[in-house]
């Protein structure tokens, strides 16, 4: 996360908080070190942002500090609330944390809406003990067009090691799949995230090929609602 984005996130977290937030809490939510938080708080205070508090006690945002309102009408805000809540069904811990941050920003401007409830059941959460590698790692590989070495166990429990070129993430109701060109099979394959037992990003990228591969995958599979597991 860029520093400017992190400073904005700190402001939003403090504005939404009902009690002082310690540097440790802020560091955990933003996935940085406490030392980084101390530097960021000092930078905000140097810019005359009304952050009050001290190390070991916690920080608060002085009341009355505000940012420009979101330009959404009531129904658009409700659509955002429901959509953000449904991210709990993806089992993607990083996306859920991002959704919580966005929801806090919306609630700081529009108030709570506890009458809008979404059932959280869906894909399994990231859990290494259950064979779920972090889905954020897969998204990073797609975004960066980086090859992955996967250890994959199919439905029968047979294990293979593949080098793949990831092109898309598919969020189904009960699972998340990675669409990729498999160098072992020399074809597109779909890998359930909860059956990927190990995943190593490789130094090799394929940025010059990804757009073509994704277009070919979309033509063959991307618009089918029921994508079979071909791994």
Each residue's pLDDT tens digit, 81-125: 888 888 888 888 888 888 888 888 788 777 777 778 888 788 877
Q: State the Cα–Cα distance between residues 93 and 214, nearest whole angstrom.
A: 25
Domain with CATH 1.10.10.10 in the chain: 3-61
| pTM score above 0.85 | no
Structural contact between residues 201 and 148, judged by C-beta atoms closer than 8 angstroms = yes
Structural contact between residues 142 and 168, judged by C-beta atoms closer than 8 angstroms = yes
Residue found under tokens 């939510």: 29
Helix 93-110 vs helix 3-16: crossing angle, to nearest 10: 60
Which CATH fold topology does 128-222 show? SH3 type barrels. (2.30.30)
User: Is the per-residue pLDDT at 230 higher than 80?
Assistant: no
Count how many residues are written for the chain: 231
Residue found under tokens 């059956």: 195
Structural contact between residues 171 and 90, judged by C-beta atoms closer than 8 angstroms = yes
Q: What is the chain's alpha carbon radius of gyration, rounded to the nearest angstrom?
A: 21
Each residue's pLDDT tens digit, 58-85: 998 877 665 555 567 778 888 888 888 8
Each residue's pLDDT tens digit, 144-169: 999 999 999 988 989 999 999 999 99
* Tokens (6 digits) for 49: 């942002």
* Residue 225 pLDDT: 45
Which CATH fold topology does 3-61 show? Arc Repressor Mutant, subunit A (1.10.10)
58-61 and 187-192 beta bridge pairing:
unpaired
Structural contact between residues 228 and 190, judged by C-beta atoms closer than 8 angstroms = yes
* Tokens (6 digits) for 162: 């593949």
Domain with CATH 2.30.30 in the chain: 128-222
């Amino acid at each position: 996360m860029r520093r400017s984005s992190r400073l904005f996130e700190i402001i939003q977290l403090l504005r939404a908080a009902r009690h002082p937030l310690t540097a440790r809490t802020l560091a955990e939510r933003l996935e940085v070190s406490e030392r980084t938080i101390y530097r960021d708080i000092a930078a905000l205070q140097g810019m005359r942002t009304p952050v009050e508090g001290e190390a070991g006690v916690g920080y608060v945002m002085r009341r009355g500090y505000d940012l420009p309102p979101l330009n959404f009408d009531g129904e658009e805000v409700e659509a955002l609330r429901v959509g953000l809540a449904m991210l709990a069904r993806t089992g993607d811990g990083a996306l859920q944390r991002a959704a919580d941050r966005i929801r806090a920003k919306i609630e700081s401007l529009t108030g709570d809406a506890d009458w809008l409830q979404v059932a959280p059941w869906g894909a399994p959460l990231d859990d290494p003990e259950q064979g779920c590698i972090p889905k954020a790692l897969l998204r990073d590989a797609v975004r960066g067009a980086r090859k992955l070495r996967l250890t994959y166990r199919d439905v029968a429990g047979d294990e293979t090691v593949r080098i793949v070129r990831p092109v898309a993430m598919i969020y189904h109701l009960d699972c998340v799949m990675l669409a990729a060109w498999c160098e072992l099979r020399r074809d597109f394959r779909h890998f359930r995230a909860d059956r990927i037992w190990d995943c190593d990003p490789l130094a090799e990228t394929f940025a010059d090929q990804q757009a073509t591969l994704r277009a070919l995958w979309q033509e063959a599979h991307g618009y089918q609602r029921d994508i079979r597991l071909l791994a």
